[in-house]
Copies of this chain bind each other. A is one copy, B any other.
Amino acid sequence: MSRRIELYDTTLRDGSQGEGVNFSLQDKLLITSRLDAVGFDYIEGGYPLSNPKDAEYFQRVRDLPLTRAQVVSFGMTRRRGVAAEDDIGMQALRDSGTPVCTIVGKTSAVHVFEVLRIDEAENLAMIRDSVAFLKAEGRTVFYDAEHFFDGYRANPEFALRTVQAAQDAGASIVVLCDTNGGRLPEDVAAAVDAVRKVLTIPVGIHCHNDCELAIANSLTAVDHGAIQVQGTINGIGERCGNADLISAAANLAVKKGYQVLRPGGVEKLTELSRYVYEIANMNFRSGQPFVGTSAFAHKGGMHVHAVARLSASYEHIPPETVGNERKILVSELSGRSNIIAKTDKFRLSHDNELMTRILNKVQDLENEGYQFEAAEASFDLLVRKEAGLYQPKFERLHYRVNVETEGDRETETEATVKLRVNDKIEHVVAEGDGPVNALDTALRKALATAYPNLTTMNLVDYKVRVINSTEGTAAKVRVVIESRDDKAVWSTVGVSENIIEASWLALVDSVEYKLFKDAEVPGN
């Protein structure tokens, strides 16, 4: 039976140090529940001394019905010259009421002498007192050895005495931290071996990705006997981020055969990754290992052909292993085999001339700034149009959007839309929070009588990209809109020099796609 490796998530604490990351209290509770469901062993919820939101989190998290994970509060060793029981950081950890507390302390002579400006004896006392105080309060104490690898490199004996002090005072584990992310796998291997020689308690690993080696360093530590890996979901965190627990878990389980998470947890990694991006209001990284939307995407014509023949050729694991899926891209380089794979559902691939027409059309539109890689619904309409499977649902006669403001008063936005729908003229006006919202509302108002099913859809995301022109013409704007109804999510694209027109084109595609989609489902 292979070893079980504990996963310690610090998304809510170290991850929240990342640029642009701000979790509300509610966000933190939602992520906690999700991490527990997937099977993380420890969830570091925050630094109770640092802000009131974290302290409140520790009150509220007690009401969550967690079934596996233990919640951890984080703090520093007591201040110098203060008794542990009088230290506000220690008190905050105690008051957090968590079963596990993690204390971070100094390992490195240079930090002790030049940052804290204390002597070695006081540093060791700070570690011992802090661990012992929380231990006496009945908590399990994890000791994070900050800058361990740098400290060990500079002065091995000094560094080893700090972790020995933590063990002596009752710590359950010593976690070796590559705090500035600067160390290489060979450094990690040597230091983990050395620590394991002097300690009887187990060792964990906490890496940052400043050299793009956080995963390699974490795996190396485990191979050298570490039992716990700390990191964050999607590797969010300050600077270049923490070790990404998604990649760590996938590599440990799928590539190295260790046990992690709950049974079935690895298959939930893709969903978990996207959930955390969503909550953190961050964009997915499409190229993220294992779980990115492009992680199993195929573009080159040659590859797509081979993937169809033998999927193991170009996929290092079956995408389902981590809950991801294969994706065939449409692009300039794609060649006929991609187009055939994408148009599969229309059963048109025998029509060579049509395939060429579609490929040419895609290339023309890509030259104008379109991209269909993230706009499958617009590509679907393009195929319908080229294949003669498209009838317009309405004719645009006119639209106008007006945004106006007077001094400091609220902005007023109005859109008028005039369409011919089934030989009737629909001429409507709508207000909105902004021009796209007003236009969307007016468009759907004009279509409401003819197509009542449009009420079930709504716009869920709106992205704008300015396409820099390298050839001196005016810059264009590409708008991608994500829409949703009760059954599906789809994306559409529009390109124009004018953001309003680009938005209109993407809105129209979205509405038309919805109407075609519903017409194909029996009973709709």
Contact = CB atoms under 8 A, between A and B. Distances in A.
Interface of A: 16-20, 22, 24, 26-27, 50-51, 76, 110-111, 114-115, 147, 179-185, 209-213, 215-216, 219, 235, 238-241, 244, 247, 250-251, 255-256, 278-279, 281, 285-290, 292, 294-300, 302-303, 306, 309-310, 312-317, 329, 331-333, 366, 371, 373, 396-407, 411, 413, 433-436, 461-464, 466-468, 470, 474-475, 477, 496-501, 504
Given A433-B498, A500-B411, A289 B180 contact: no
Copies of this chain present in the complex amount to 2
Contacts of A286: 19
B497 A179 contact: no
Contact of A19 (B241, B299, B303, B309): B299
A432 to B, nearest CB: 8
Contacts of A504: 405
Given A185-B185, A434-B500, A210 B404 contact: no
A400 B407 contact: no
A183 B498 CA distance: 47
A180 B312 CA distance: 9
Contact of A405 (B50, B303, B399): B399
Closest 8 CB pairs of A and B: A182-B316, A216-B216, A464-B464, A434-B498, A433-B497, A212-B289, A212-B247, A403-B500
Nearest to A22: B332
B27 A210 contact: no
16 contacts: A22-B331, A183-B316, A211-B251, A212-B244, A212-B247, A212-B251, A212-B290, A238-B297, A238-B303, A240-B292, A240-B294, A281-B467, A398-B404, A411-B496, A434-B497, A464-B464
A474 B433 contact: yes
Given A215-B211, A215-B212, A462-B466, A297 B19 contact: yes
Contact of A287 (B19, B299, B329): B19
Contacts of A219: 184
A181 B292 CA distance: 14
A481 to B, nearest CB: 10
A463 B240 CA distance: 22
Nearest to A312: B110
Given A110-B313, A240-B287, 10 more contacts: A19-B286, A27-B470, A50-B333, A111-B310, A182-B317, A239-B287, A397-B406, A401-B403, A411-B501, A434-B477
Contacts of A238: 294, 297-300, 303
A100 to B, nearest CB: 22
A51 B401 contact: no
Nearest to A477: B434
Given A22-B332, A289-B212, A498-B411, A300 B17 contact: yes
